[in-house]
Copies of this chain bind each other. A is one copy, B any other.
Amino acid sequence: MATVPLIEEETASAEVRAVFDDIRRVRNTDWINNFWRALANHPPTLRRIWQGLKEVMAPGALDPLTKEMMYLAVSISNGCQYCTASHGAAAKRLGMTPEMLGELIAVVGMANQTNRLADGYRVAVDERFENLF
């Protein structure tokens, strides 16, 4: 299964190799997973996505594990197999336990259920919920 070849280090352009190097450096690993090697078929996308991801997932008001688990929750909800597998692994690396995964999946399931109940009954937003901040 593949639309494009996975770009190997040896045949990569200097631009692609620079991004691969940065991924390894930031993640403290010697390994590049398939996602980045697929994106390397379109170097501007590879560079832009990696820069954006680094920025969005950096520690901030939310810690990296919380962000990674949110990312996983959204990926599961969207039915994206690759991202469910890769961000599941990333969250585990950051400390997600099987019990935390179990609760995360339960929340994703429950949210998907009540989202459709609200849409099915076409429930109007309560005045109190407007203008949150």
Contact = CB atoms under 8 A, between A and B. Distances in A.
Contacts of A28: none
Given A33-B126, A107-B71, A126-B34, A132 B4 contact: yes
A29 to B, nearest CB: 10
Contacts of A122: 1-3, 81, 84-85
Given A131-B2, A132-B92, A125 B77 contact: no
Q: Quick one: copies of this chain in the complex? A: 6
Interface of A: 1-5, 31, 33-35, 38-39, 41-42, 44-45, 48-49, 52-53, 55-57, 60-62, 66-67, 69-71, 73-89, 92, 97-126, 128-133
